[in-house]
Structure 1
């Protein structure tokens, strides 16, 4: 049933492409005719060349560049001759526009240095008052050039430089009262603030853009602004505001003309509902996004939508559905050679197969994930080398194309007489093909009928033999799968023994001489969380970390973390908290071959980085000085009643740095917080497992507010009773009246009383 529908859609799509191509060819022919009839002194010639270059820009960028160069030469000839001041200003603007469009072509080709040169040359012209005397037009062109420079610098990850150029352009557009371009500048500045993690500033600029779009009554622009504002609220976990923005964007859109933007909004809605635990609504919006991506023939978008669906079905524990969508996503990603999509699809499938008990395929996809991880790193280095080689080759091709252009002009007259003969030959050729095709089809139908009869007879004879062979094969495969399952389970159990041996034992923690408790509950057999403690040179150093993922991938990362901490603290004897985290991040990045990424997208997306969140404390046992450094994980301190009677054991939270121990867009040194710790003070280090756990009567997350209240309550009890109370509260939360909630992440809590 599905096959005919797909074929019809593909056929319609090819007709639209063909019609568009014919229209473009007709336009090019018309412009060439105009060129032949115009005098070189006519200023309309330059406009015609611009139009022709723009048409070539998408299908033949090299030809477009040649035409833009012709325009620049014509403008130079005029500017060096004696012409009135008004005409001189017009030709200066024409040349600046031609340089700018050349820069855009080079940017689209990924040749950023050449693009920057063209933009800067254009800026020199429009900022030269002796050349460009039409102040309004020159100023508007300068604003556009600053915007183009900002777009290019954002693509290269140079956010500060991009922001400066966007602000320069905004100042010009404000002076001109150019509302449309002011809105564009505010949006671009908002995206830069988002990339710099200054989300409140991003909201200010996106709201300014929204006000203008409402003023000029541009519904599509309003929808785009609501989408960007909603994305910022989402990253701030202001889910109600995010939902209002995304739904407001949908209400403004023409759903037939804006399918690409609508699909992005549906994905954003799916993400919000997934985070707040409404998996059914999340699934509905992911499906809507998937169908729109298919309608717009966006294969990369289809692959990403399928990954979202697979991940959500994993969370719903419908692993067969998760595998079905994951395999489809991987197939599409491989067909378009999208390595990032292949990487995410493989790790999602590994999780699905592992949860479904198919450990052989889970292991296969984990291996493929790590191969792709290395391949993406190597392909980026190769891209830079290829770009340098392409620059050299392009210069040679440009020279050859200019020579060929002169030769083609001479050949045009000769080709005109040959066209009629070619048309006759082509028509005769197609007539022969049609006749031959008819004969061949008749012959094929006859042969096919004979072949079908022969094959049916053979199939009847082979069926009994095949059934017996298939039965034996199924039995053999069952035995092999059972054996493989046992081997993989034994391997993971052995990995658990290794991980347990690396974690500090309760006996070794007792030897540190402090009253403590540990709540350590892995989600799977092995854990992505770990705790660690040691004594070095009179300092007690201890930590709790949450590594990317859980299960086998998380366990690999946790063992790396333990090994690196032993190297840094025990061997190198580094005890200053923030220095420990700086060195740990350096070791992790080096071990995983990580590097900073780039983005050129107009819409905000996220990328998963392998690494860990961690809180680490170091206490001088002699002086009572305590140091804390954190990567996304807070520290809770409950002061003793004797030391702080008025506070009534009030809980104090020490905030971490908002960056992980891994590669990050804005990496800086971790902060070092110093305190004086008194006898009876209690310290709590933890991962996000318990605050993020779903449960209760409404099926929502436990949340940090409830977790802080629980820590405050149990801090009045002895440490061992605190552990019992916390575990009991967690068990009660996960066991609602009519439903038992599964643990969604590793849970680790370390409490120490000084």
Structure 2
């Protein structure tokens, strides 16, 4: 179970600021007061009704929006959006919650309203944490913490430190998590606050459990349970029971674990906490799996999955898929197990959960080995090893970052104390400096005026004497300068010609290297006799390339369009070509969606795109086909490059995924595989976007996709060489006297 702090922080922030009861406030609304006073009362009513009547809070917030809509940058408009966000949080509409909190945060921040900005930042941090967007949650939590330090708000410092501890825990950065948890507890102890301490104690217990220090884990978890019961918050009691259940699982006490999970479920059910119920069903399913009661395990996992899907909990869905895979492996229902595990892989890739990916790859490897499929067993073992290696590298980077962060945490409190002392000193120094600067400025101004007067008098005297001499000299100098410029221009022209030739020679040599990386046309024609490749770089070297190989009984062919053209594009083609060979030839992977997904990860790793400070967005589009002649099937995956399949006199467009390969600008990327049955005589086409984007024709417009599809349909029945001739003739005719817009690559082959 997770997401402790959403409820705690919201309720702490939203304590009513006034002791006036709601009746008197509502009566004031109907009296003859100004709009400004009315806005203040509406804000107060939103606070008062937050816990007792959320619908009333929403109505007053909407009335506040109407009153404030003439100035959408006002504090009252921001508070209206804040409380609307709070309402939608309470009714589980998290998209609207995020939208309204973000709006409030931006207004408060621009108006330098520290209280509003602190509340909005903290609320956003909780929402993003709930939705498994840990980096974004961390950014808002740290922004809120900085404001809490400036405002010297100890209570919110404690709450936000505890939230950051939770975030770091889910990011598996345990050293930083412990540091923030302990700081949070210290503040609560100084202020003698008991409420919310059980949350932090739970988190510390979970960290110790994850690290294998079970004695310390038990100590913190049972202390948390006692405190949760004392404070009487059902959510926190249920969560602690759930955490204790997982502790019992880790230490082998299965019956005790089941009892703890059932206690959590009872509380979740009575409080109608669907998120908690999802975790409780999942946890109980794990217990029944360990007890070999598979029917009960499946029943609980399915209930957990329904709730996880309903509540938008992708991480839990991925974990359920991993466990369900294990159930069906035990039942020897291998195809269902594969389906569950691959679904888990897809979700884990979307949310970038390295731990779940690693475990799922390992389980798939063991499953295929058990089925006797050594090829896939090896593929998934290599994927498991690649993910382990990536995680190891990330952990090393984290360790370095944590050392620095620990130092910064220790400095922060000292810096705040020093800042307060420095402010008083600086104010006194500023007054003295202001007086000195004023006096000095007046003196400098008077001195400057005197110097200007003396300089102008001397200048007028000398100007007349020099004018005649300068005219004579100018005539002679111009004559000499013209002669010199002629010589310099001739020399510069010669140098530019030589330099241009050197650069051209280098690029031509680079083209020879690039051409050597491309597969030989003769090799392709041996496998696909009726095929053609129309390849025309815009410059000498190209950002497009084609790739071809045979692995086992399949033929792989790809069209790749890298970022840029010319020399920059050529550099990317070399990297992409090398990575494709590494992924396919070294690992033996033959599933195109996995190949494209791994290519995406490896380009990000090689170009260091996952580092936050790196703005590199280079990448590529790809269309990848694996042809299986034995089963008469084509497996295709595409990133912005579609597949054209001509069958029975009709051209079908198999759409690609909308994500590019490489670059971290697109979040939650996934690449899908499409399987197509073909008949002998069918044609397959793939193309980069260069042909379609070429300007020309009678109106000097782009060729466009529709015309390109008509061209493919027109040539599909012709032999390979005639198809190439038609494509080339159409391109030359359309382009006319226009320059070539982009690199162009079109591939077509007939299936035998």
Greater gyration radius: 2
TM-score of the aligned structures, taking structure 2 as reference length: 0.45
Higher relative contact order structure (alpha carbons within 8 Å, sequence separation ≥ 6)? 1
